[in-house]
Amino acid sequence: MAGIITHKSARIIAGGLRRFFGGAKWHGVEWYLAALGAVIILAVLIVILFAPSLAPYDPLEFVGKPFMKPGSEGFLMGTDNLGRDVLSRVIHGSKVVMLIAFTATVFSAVVGIPLGLISGYFGGKLDMVLNLFMNAIYSFPGLILAIAMAAVLGPGVLNISIAIAVIYVPTYFRVVRGHVLSVKEELYVEAAKTLGASDFTIIARYVFPNVIASIAVIFSLNIADAILTEAGLSFLGLGIAPPSPDWGLDLSKGKVFLPRGYWWLVTYPGIMISLVALGFTLLGEGLSEILNPRLKE
Amino acid sequence: MRSILSYLIARILLTIPMLLILLTVVFVVLRVMPGDPAESILGAHAPKDQIELVRKNLGLDKPKFINLHGNPFDSQYFSYLYHLIRFDLGNSMIWSKRPVATEIKEHFPATLELTLVSITITILIGVFGGALAAHKQKTVLDYGLRIYGILIYSIPVFWLGLMLQLIFGVFMGWFPVSGRIGSGLELRTVTGLYVFDALVTGNWTGLYSSVKHLALPSITLGLSLSGIFVRLTRANMLHTLKQDFVTAARVRGLPERIVVYRHALKNAFIPILTMMGMEFALLLAGAVLTETTFSWPGMGRYLIERILYRDFNAVQGGVVFFALLVSAVSLVVDIIYAAIDPRIRY
pLDDT by residue (tens digit) across B228-273?
Answer: 888 888 888 887 777 777 777 777 777 777 766 676 666 666 777 7
Nearest to B272 by CA among B341, B343, B345: B341
CA atoms of A109 and B100, how far apart (whole Å): 37
Q: Residue A266: its chain B contacts at CB < 8 A?
A: 159, 162-163, 166
CA atoms of B211 and A250, how far apart (whole Å): 30
| pLDDT value for B121 | 93
- Higher confidence at residue B221 or residue A2? B221
CA atoms of B188 and B181, how far apart (whole Å): 12
Asked if A237's CB is within 8 angstroms of B170's CB, the reply is no
Asked if A147's CB is within 8 angstroms of B159's CB, the reply is no
Cα nearest neighbour of B23 on chain A: A136
> Which residues 39-78 of B are in CB contact (within 8 Å) with A?
none
| pLDDT value for A273 | 94
Average pLDDT of the segment spanning A167-196: 86
- Higher confidence at residue A17 or residue A96? A96
CA atoms of A58 and A52, how far apart (whole Å): 8
The answer to whether residues B122 and B218 touch, using CB atoms and an 8 Å cutoff, is no
Asked if A274's CB is within 8 angstroms of B154's CB, the reply is yes
B171-212 pLDDT per residue, tens = 888 888 888 887 777 777 777 788 887 887 887 888 888 888
Instruction: Among B29, B156, B281, select the one facing A141 at the smallest CB separation.
Output: B281
The answer to whether residues B119 and B281 touch, using CB atoms and an 8 Å cutoff, is no
CA atoms of B83 and B91, how far apart (whole Å): 12
Average pLDDT of the segment spanning A227-232: 94
ipTM of predicted complex:
0.86
> Which residues 209-238 of A are in CB contact (within 8 Å) with B?
224, 228, 231-232, 235-238
What band does A251 get if pLDDT is binned at 50, 70 and 90?
Answer: very high
Please list, in sequence order, all residues whose beta carbon lies within 8 angstroms of the beta carbon of residue B322, skipping any fewer than 6 positions away.
Answer: A140, A141, A144, B284, B299, B303
CA atoms of B269 and B113, how far apart (whole Å): 24
Average pLDDT of the segment spanning A163-187: 89
CA atoms of B273 and B336, how far apart (whole Å): 9
Asked if B163's CB is within 8 angstroms of A147's CB, the reply is no
B267-292 pLDDT per residue, tens = 666 777 777 777 888 899 999 999 99
| pLDDT value for A48 | 83
What band does B35 get if pLDDT is binned at 50, 70 and 90?
Answer: low
Judged by a CB distance cut-off of 8 A, whether residue B34 touches chain A is yes
Query: In this prediction, what percent of chain A has a pLDDT beyond 90?
Result: 27
Judged by a CB distance cut-off of 8 A, whether residue A263 touches chain B is yes
Average pLDDT of the segment spanning A23-40: 71
| pLDDT value for A111 | 94
| pLDDT value for A296 | 40
> Which residues 247-276 of B are in CB contact (within 8 Å) with A?
none
Mean pLDDT of chain A: 83
| pLDDT value for A54 | 77
| pLDDT value for A21 | 58
Q: Residue B278: its chain A contacts at CB < 8 A?
A: 139
What letters, b where the CB count within 10 A reaches 16 and e where it falls short, cover A33-65? Answer: bbbebbebbeebeebbeebeeebebebeeebbe
Please list, in sequence order, all residues whose beta carbon lies within 8 angstroms of the beta carbon of residue B22, skipping any fewer than 6 positions away.
Answer: A136, A137, A140, B323, B326, B327
How many Å separate Cα A292 from the centre of its chain? 20
Asked if B307's CB is within 8 angstroms of A151's CB, the reply is yes
What band does A295 get if pLDDT is binned at 50, 70 and 90?
Answer: very low
| pLDDT value for A4 | 53
| pLDDT value for A86 | 85
Asked if A273's CB is within 8 angstroms of B159's CB, the reply is yes
| pLDDT value for B308 | 80
What band does A279 get if pLDDT is binned at 50, 70 and 90?
Answer: very high
**Using alpha carbons only, how large is chain A's radius of gyration in Å?**
23
Residue B34 has pLDDT above 80, yes or no: no
Distance from CA of B144 to the nearest CA of A (A): 13
| pLDDT value for A12 | 67
Judged by a CB distance cut-off of 8 A, whether residue A24 touches chain B is no
Judged by a CB distance cut-off of 8 A, whether residue B172 touches chain A is no
**Using alpha carbons only, how large is chain B's radius of gyration in Å?**
24
Asked if B26's CB is within 8 angstroms of A251's CB, the reply is no
Highest mean pLDDT among A12-21, A234-243, A264-273, B24-33: A264-273
**Residue at A265: amino acid letter:** L
| pLDDT value for B345 | 52
What band does A297 get if pLDDT is binned at 50, 70 and 90?
Answer: very low
**For the ranges A185-194, B300-309, B318-327, which has the lowest average pLDDT?**
A185-194
| pLDDT value for B112 | 92
pTM for this model (two decimals): 0.86
Q: Residue B282: its chain A contacts at CB < 8 A?
A: 141
B54-100 pLDDT per residue, tens = 777 766 777 777 666 667 677 777 778 878 887 777 777 766 678 88
| CA distances from residue B213 to A162, A235, B156, B294 in whole angstroms, order as listed | 37, 22, 21, 9
